[in-house]
Amino acid sequence: MASARESSWATRARALEILTHLPNFVRLYWRLFWDPRVPIWPKGLLVGALGYVILPFDLIPDVLPLIGEVDDLVIVLLAARWFIRWCPPEIVREHARAIDQDHRR
């Protein structure tokens, strides 16, 4: 039973770590979105995903409890992941370093 408890604590610790870094993730996405060296396709994907969440139509209606909101979350998380993957890695690293340096000041 100790392994289940350890797993639970590890999951909580990971969630807390992600939450503490969330402002830096937002800064990174913001900087990449406005960087002219990033191609239009990743930016379009991000805008499309956010538009999907904001607009009133859904693949799975929000009136269905829990499932309706989960599809919005999945779309946003997948788009966020693909956005970073489609951005040139050297530009992502450059912005991540700059955010890290700003954070250390």
Is 26 among the domain residues? yes
Is 96 among the domain residues? yes
Is 6 among the domain residues? no
Tens digit of each residue's pLDDT (9 = 90 or more) over 53-81: 888 777 777 667 777 778 888 889 999 99
Q: Are 46 and 83 in contact (CB under 8 A)?
A: yes
pTM: 0.76
d(CA 13, CA 98): 26
Domain boundaries, position 79 = 22-104
Question: What is the chain's alpha carbon radius of gyration, rounded to the nearest angstrom?
Answer: 17
Is 16 among the domain residues? no
Is 9 among the domain residues? no
Is 7 among the domain residues? no
Give the pLDDT of residue 1: 47
Look up residue 28 and give its two tokens.
């990174």
